[in-house]
Structure 1
Amino acid sequence: MGVSISLDDLLGEEVRRDPYPFYARLHDLGEAVALRPDDPHALVVHGYRAVNRVLRDPVFRVLGGDYLDRAGIRWRAHPAIRILQTSMLNAAPGDHLRVRQLFSQALTPRRVVALEPAIERIADGLLDGLDAAGAAGRPVDFMEAFALRLPSDVVGELLGVPERDRAWFPARVRTFDAVLEIGRRSMREVRAANVAATELTAYFTGLLAERRARPREDLVSALVGIRDRDPDQLSADELLANLIIMYNAGFRTTANLLGSGLVLLLERPDTVAALRADPSLAASCVEEILRYEPPVHFALRYAAADTEVAGLPVPAGATVVVLTGAANRDPRRFPDPDSFDPSRPDNRHLAFSAGPHHCFGAALARAEGRLVLPRLLDRFPALALAAEPGERRQLMLRGYDRLPVRVTAPARHRPIGALPNHAD
C-alpha cells in the first residue's frame, strides 16, 4: 500500500498557524499524496507541476451546483452557498466563460492603468488618516485603518458603491467568507454567513435599482444595461451573485496581500531600505510576497472522468485538494523556497491560480501593491510593528485580522501648526 495522509493533518491547529513545515513534508512525498479512505477527498495535490496541470486540465472541474446535487447537498437552502454556486467561482464551463467575459471588461489592462490615479488618491487619503490615528506614537491597527479600506475603496470606485456605504462591508464580508474555508463549518458559522449573504443581496439589489433609474459611469450601471438589453446574456441571479463575489474578493485578498506583505518587509530592513531607495523594485517585491505568503492556499476540484495525478488514480467524481500555497514553496520549482527573495528570477507563482479560473482581478491587486507599498514606506520612515501580529488560522483568504503598528510622520508631512516656533 502506498503512502497516505489524513485530511486532519492539514486541518490541525498547528498547520493552520504555520502550514509551511507541513508543506515541506508533503514535498518529500512527491507531487501528490493519497488521502485515507474515510476522508472526503481522494488526493492532496501539492507539487508545482501537478497543481499547475490540475488547474488547467479540463477533466478537473470546480464543484458546481450539478456536482453538489449529485452529492446530495442541499445547497439551495443556504443563501451564502447559493451565491457562491451561482457566481463564476463555481459556474459550469460554458456559463463561467460567458459571465467572466462580461465582468472582465471592467478590469482590462487599460482600465487598470486608468485606475492608478484613483488608487494613489485613495492611498494618500488613508495615509493621512493613518498618520492622524498614530500621532504621538499611538498604536494603530493597520488592517482596519488601511489594508481593508484601500482595496474596498478601489473596488467600490470601480463598481460604483458609494463611499458612504463602504465601511458597512468588511464585517459582513468576513462573516460570509467563513464558508469558504476547507473542512466542516459549524451551523452557527453557516447561519451567520447566510444572514450576511441576505444583507449583501439586499444592498446590491437596491444599488442595481438605483443605477437602473440613474445610470453612472461605473460597472454596476454598465451591467444593468447589459442585463436589460439582453437578459439571456446575464440572469438577474448571476448579476447579483457576481457583484457580491467581485466586491468580496476584490478587497479581502488585496487586504491580506498588504498586511502579510508589510510584516514580511518590516522583518527585513535591508529589503525596506532597497525599496525606499528604488520604488521600481515594488513590482518584484509584490510577486515574492504573493509567492511566499499567498492570500489563498487551496482550491477544490473534482474529476469529470477517470484520471490520475502524479501516478495516483483519481476515479470519476472524486475530489482533490489542490494546495497552491504548497506549490509556491516547491523546491523542485523554486530554489531555496523558504527564503524571501524579491530578486528571484522566473517567479511564476500560482497565487492567482491558473487556467480558466485564474483570478481576473490579478492585475488590479498587483497594481495596488506596487503603488501603495512604496508610498507607505516613504511616508513613515519609522514604521514598525507595535505588537506581535494576530494569528492567521485560515488557509482560504489567509491574513491577519489585526496588525498593530506605530507610525511617525516625517517633518514634511506635519501640519504647519506643528512646526517648532524658532522665534521663541
Structure 2
Amino acid sequence: MDPADALALLMSPEGRVDPYPTYERLRAHGPVVQAGPVFFVVTGYAEADAILRDARFGVMDDALRDQFLPGWRESPAILSISRSMLRTNPPDHSRMRRLAAGAFTPRRIAAMRDVVQAQADELIDAMLAAEGPVDFMAAFAYPLPVGVICALLGVPAADRPLFRRWATDLTGVLEPEITEEELAVADRGASELRAYFTELVAARRRAPADDLTTALVQAHDGGDRLSGDELLANLIVLLVAGFETTTNLLGNGLVALLEHPRAAALAEHPEFAPGYVDELLRYDSPVQLTSRMSTTPARYGDVDLPPESWVIVMLGAANRDPRRYPDPGRFDPWRPQVHPLSFGAGPHYCLGAALARLEAQVAFPLLLRRLPGLAVAGRPERRVRLTLRGHATLPVRVGREASPVTVPGTPPGAAGPTP
C-alpha cells in the first residue's frame, strides 16, 4: 500500500477507530514519507521529537490559513482555535503561554493531589451506589478532569455538565479532515463556548476571584498583552484541553489495565503509578497527531522537505516506533525509559501535561484498590476521531468495594516501572 492510500485509509472511519495497523503500513515506507506534493507524514520517534523541537517548523499562521482554508475567519471554531496559544507561533505564542503558565507550576500541581483524590473518591462512591453497569466515561473519566480544570478556571460546579457536548463539537475542527457538516457542528460548539466565557469574563470584571479566568481578564484589561479574541480563545482552549486529553487517557488507560494481568500491582503499590501512566500514554495515546509547517528547507529521514511543507506528526505511531521501543504493540508497565510524545515536545509541549499525569496517577491506583472487581461489562464504543483518541462509552461492572486496607510501601528489592 503506497503512502497516499495508507493515509486515505487512516482518514476513513475504520482507520480512525483503530489507526495502529495503518501506522505500520506508513512506517514500512520510512520514518518520514511524502504523501503529496508538499504533504509529509512522520511515524518515527526520533524524527517526530526533533521536528517538534525544530525552530524551522511552526503551526499554521494566518497567511497559510488564507491559502489553505479560504474563509476561515467566518468559522467560530477555526477562529477560536487560531487565536489561542495552541495555533500561534512565537512571539505571540510565548506571550500567551507565559500568562497562563502560573496556574501550572510544579508547586501548584503538587498541591492539587489531595483535591484530585477527594474528587475521585466521591466519584467512586457514586459508582458503587449505582445499580448495574455504569458508563465509566460519564461516571468518572469526564467529571474528574472537568472538575479539576473548572476549579482552576473558576467555573461554577453547576455549569460543568454543559461542557462535554460543547467540547466534543468544537474538537472536530482538530481533525486532519473535516466535512462542511462537521465544521457546522464545531462552529456551534465554539459559539456556545464563546458565549459562556463572554459572560464569565463579565462576571470576573464585576467580582474578581482567585482563579485563572480573573488572571487572564486582568492581563487583557491591563494593556495590550492579551487581545479580546485571544482572551476568549485561550479560555476555551484551556478548558477543552484541560479535560479532553485526560478523559481519553483515563478511558484508554482503564481498558489497557483491565486487560493486563499485573495491573493489581498498581493497587498495592501506587508509587509505581508514574511508570504505569507513562506506558499507558505511549501504548494508546489520547492525542494521536499534530501538524507543523516548514518555514525553510529541511531534511529528515532521508527526505527533503521544501518550505511550506505540511507535516503531519503521528504521535501515536511515533510512540510505537520499534527503533525506540522493542515490541511496541505490547503494553508493558515495567518497560524502562518511557518518554511518550503524547503531550508533544518543544515550544508547544502541553501546558497541562503534569496536571493530566497527576490525575491519572491518583485515579488508577485508587480505582483498582477500591474496586477490585472492576471489569468491562459490554462492548466499549470508540469515538470516530483520529486526533483525539478515546471512547464515547465504556460500560463497566463495578463489583463490591474492597475492605479498607493500609496500602503498603514498596517491599525491599521489589522492582517497578521507571518513574
CA distance in 1, matches of 2:329, 2:383: 18
Query: Is 1:338 matched with 2:329?
Result: yes
Asked if the contact 1:112/1:363 (under 8 Å) is kept, the reply is: yes
Asked if the contact 2:42/2:48 (under 8 Å) is kept, the reply is: yes
Which one of the candidate residues 65, 75, 78 is aligned to 1:81? Answer: 78
Q: CA deviation at 1:177?
A: 0.8
Query: Is 1:181 matched with 2:149?
Result: no
Query: Is 1:126 matched with 2:123?
Result: yes
Aligned amino acid, residue 378 of structure 1: R
Query: Is 1:147 matched with 2:138?
Result: no
Aligned amino acid, residue 155 of structure 1: I
Query: Is 1:253 matched with 2:252?
Result: no
Aligned amino acid, residue 114 of structure 1: A
Asked if the contact 1:62/1:302 (under 8 Å) is kept, the reply is: yes
Asked if the contact 2:287/2:342 (under 8 Å) is kept, the reply is: yes
Asked if the contact 2:371/2:402 (under 8 Å) is kept, the reply is: no
Structure 2 residues without counterparts, runs of 5 or longer: 405-419
What residue in structure 2 maps to residue 25 of structure 1?
A: 25
Structure 1 residues without counterparts, runs of 5 or longer: 414-424
Aligned amino acid, residue 166 of structure 2: R
Instruction: Give the alignment's TM-score, normalised by structure 2.
Output: 0.93
Q: CA deviation at 1:15?
A: 2.2
Asked if the contact 1:5/1:33 (under 8 Å) is kept, the reply is: no
Q: Deviations over 1:205-253 (max 9, x none)?
A: 1111111111111111122222222x21111211110010010011010
Q: CA RMSD in A?
A: 1.5
CA distance in 1, matches of 2:356, 2:33: 32
Which one of the candidate residues 206, 212, 215 is aligned to 2:208? Answer: 215
Q: CA deviation at 1:19?
A: 1.5
CA distance in 1, matches of 2:228, 2:39: 36
CA distance in 2, matches of 1:397, 1:194: 18
Query: Is 1:62 matched with 2:59?
Result: yes
CA distance in 1, matches of 2:319, 2:166: 30
Asked if the contact 1:297/1:396 (under 8 Å) is kept, the reply is: yes
Query: Is 1:278 matched with 2:274?
Result: no
Aligned amino acid, residue 303 of structure 1: S
Query: Is 1:304 matched with 2:301?
Result: no
Query: Is 1:355 matched with 2:346?
Result: yes
Aligned amino acid, residue 147 of structure 1: A
CA distance in 1, matches of 2:14, 2:160: 35
Query: Is 1:224 matched with 2:217?
Result: yes
Taking a change above 3 Å as real, the CA distance of residues 404 and 72 of structure 1, as seen in their structure-2 partners, is closer
What residue in structure 2 maps to residue 90 of structure 1?
A: 87
Taking a change above 3 Å as real, the CA distance of residues 72 and 144 of structure 1, as seen in their structure-2 partners, is closer
Q: CA deviation at 1:174?
A: 0.4
CA distance in 2, matches of 1:180, 1:228: 30
What residue in structure 2 maps to residue 295 of structure 1?
A: 286
Query: Is 1:262 matched with 2:254?
Result: yes
Asked if the contact 1:9/1:15 (under 8 Å) is kept, the reply is: yes
Aligned amino acid, residue 17 of structure 2: R
Aligned amino acid, residue 140 of structure 1: V
Q: CA deviation at 1:4?
A: 4.4
What residue in structure 2 maps to residue 234 of structure 1?
A: 226
CA distance in 2, matches of 1:285, 1:225: 40
Aligned amino acid, residue 169 of structure 1: F
Asked if the contact 1:65/1:90 (under 8 Å) is kept, the reply is: no
Aligned amino acid, residue 405 of structure 1: V
Q: CA deviation at 1:13?
A: 3.2
What secondary structure does 1:299 align onto?
A: strand
CA distance in 2, matches of 1:346, 1:412: 35
Query: Is 1:200 matched with 2:199?
Result: no
What residue in structure 1 maps to residue 415 of structure 2?
A: none
Q: CA deviation at 1:411?
A: 6.3
What residue in structure 1 maps to residue 4 of structure 2?
A: 5
Q: Deviations over 1:97-118 (max 9, x none)?
A: 0000111111000110111111
- Is the radius of gyration larger for structure 1 or structure 2? 1
Query: Is 1:364 matched with 2:355?
Result: yes
What secondary structure does 1:5 align onto?
A: helix
Identity, % of aligned positions: 46
CA distance in 1, matches of 2:161, 2:9: 37
Q: Deviations over 1:316-347 (max 9, x none)?
A: 11211111110000000111111111111111
What residue in structure 2 maps to residue 419 of structure 1?
A: none
CA distance in 1, matches of 2:23, 2:179: 26
Equivalent residue runs for 1:369-380 within 5 Å = 369-380=360-371
Q: CA deviation at 1:349?
A: 1.4
Instruction: Give the alignment's TM-score, normalised by structure 1.
Output: 0.92
Aligned amino acid, residue 141 of structure 1: D
Asked if the contact 2:264/2:368 (under 8 Å) is kept, the reply is: no
CA distance in 2, matches of 1:15, 1:397: 13
What residue in structure 2 maps to residue 113 of structure 1?
A: 110
What residue in structure 1 maps to residue 413 of structure 2?
A: none
CA distance in 1, matches of 2:71, 2:214: 33
Q: CA deviation at 1:375?
A: 0.8
